[in-house]
Amino acid sequence: MRNHHLRTRFLFVLAAAEVLLILMVILFFLLIAAVFLFRLPMRPPAVHGILTAFFGEEQLALLPWMLALWVFLSLAAAAVIIAVLLLRLNRKVTRPIEDLTAATEKICAGEYDVEIIGSEEREIDDLCRSLDAMRLRLKERSLREQAILEDRHRLIANISHDMRTPVTTIKGYVQAIEDGVASTPEQIENCFRHIRAKAEFLEYLAEDMTEYSDHESGRMRYNFEDVELRAFLGDMAEEYRDETESGGFVFSLSLPEEDVMVRADRRRLQRVMQNLLSNAIKYNRPGGNVGVALEAKGPYAYICVSDSGVGIPAASLKKVFDSFYREDSSRGGVSGHGLGLAIAKQIVEAHHGKIWMQSREGEGSMAFLCLPLKRGRKE
């Protein structure tokens, strides 16, 4: 385990450099003093006697050159030591920082797959870890923004596709009336009925787009009230019974005997049920079953909307509530903008509930809606 941190090493190098610099200055002045002293024509007797006693007359003449050599070697050793310390510091600090600078420039340019290598020094390694964590967050955000952009493109494409058919149909029936192709009252009434249906579909599509936009921007407002689900689902059943039976489907409704009370926004909850029932009809088989069941169990109310249609592949079950997602590969190529179930999920979660799907490909699907019960009487 390392006992010294980068800051300690850096301070040590600075202290060593300062000490060596001071020694170099002192030795330089000693050399000057020695040369000056030995070059004096008349040296003080006391100093001459002491130097002669130690070195002798012959070596005394070489003493200035020996001192000069000693100072030179000391300065050279000090320079080598400082150079080695600085090179080591450069290898440990400067190069990793240069690598971090290069990585930062690439990240700023949008290259989030750049490799950030750690360092032996703890401080620089912590910096590398922080920068790498930032890189991963930026990469995740970039991928999320790219996914949102792709979803928007997909939404525009889906809505354009879904709008083209009813608009073309409306234009065709209007043209038939104008050209006199539809001349009898029955034919004109039939044209108006189809025009009305396509106009309602376009209105439904516009409402989906508005609601989704309000949810995404946080502008959606809810008006919660006590809603008795038995009566609520009974009214919804009457509304859809004629549509399902006229389409050749068998409609069933299963309700408990006791009232089931929840706190909900009646209009938003109706929107959820419309989406679920529309899907049950749209993706059903000819002559298939459409069922609605209500059950109160524990502190929750459970609503199940079932069909006997083509079903949903297992790999797609987790995606059906994603925005703009459509599973058309095995569902007869039925068009849709991919917002219905996403809106349903947002509304249910705003009611502190849950929504999920169960399905087997080729056997039908069941959509489950779970809402917290409100105990007490209906006001």
Total domains in the chain come to 3
Q: Would you state the structure tokens that stand for residue 12, as one six-digit string?
A: 């040590």
Domain annotation covers residue 189 = yes
**What pLDDT shows up at residue 38?**
53
Whose tokens are 């790999």? That residue is 315
Say if residue 82 is in the same domain as residue 55.
yes
Say if residue 58 is in the same domain as residue 188.
no
Say if residue 19 is in the same domain as residue 97.
yes
Say if residue 240 is in the same domain as residue 293.
yes
Domain annotation covers residue 83 = yes
Q: How far is CA 74 from CA 26, 81, 83, 90, 183, in A?
A: 11, 11, 14, 24, 117
Instruction: Show which of 217, 241, 264 is a domain's final residue.
Output: 217
Domain annotation covers residue 242 = yes
Element (H, E) at 369: strand 364-372
**What pLDDT shows up at residue 50?**
57
Q: What angle do CA 89, 95, 96 make, to 5 degrees?
A: 100
Say if residue 176 is in the same domain as residue 249.
no
Q: Would you state the structure tokens that stand for residue 204, as one six-digit string?
A: 């439904």
| CATH number of the domain encompassing residue 339 | 3.30.565.10
Say if residue 241 is in the same domain as residue 211.
no
In the chain the first and final C-alpha atoms are separated, in Å, by 72
What is the C-alpha to C-alpha distance for residues 131 and 127, in angstroms, rounded to an integer?
6
**What pLDDT shows up at residue 206?**
79
Say if residue 35 is in the same domain as residue 171.
no
**What pLDDT shows up at residue 330?**
41
Segments forming the whole domain that contains residue 22: 6-111
User: DSSP for 306-353?
Assistant: EE-SS---GGGTTTTTSTT----TTTTT----S-HHHHHHHHHHHTT-
Please list the pLDDT of the chain residue by residue as tens digits (379 residues): 344 455 555 555 666 666 666 766 666 666 566 555 555 444 455 555 555 555 555 555 565 666 667 667 776 777 777 777 667 766 666 677 777 788 888 888 888 888 777 766 677 778 788 888 888 888 888 888 887 777 677 767 767 776 777 888 888 889 888 888 888 888 888 888 888 888 877 887 777 777 777 766 667 788 899 999 999 999 888 878 877 777 788 889 999 989 999 999 998 898 889 888 888 888 888 888 999 999 999 899 999 999 998 888 877 777 787 755 555 444 444 444 557 788 888 889 989 999 998 988 888 899 999 999 986 544 4
Residue 68's contacts (CB-CB under 8 Å, 6 or more residues apart) are 31, 35
Say if residue 107 is in the same domain as residue 209.
no
Domain annotation covers residue 345 = yes
Whose tokens are 């909900």? That residue is 264
**What pLDDT shows up at residue 355?**
93
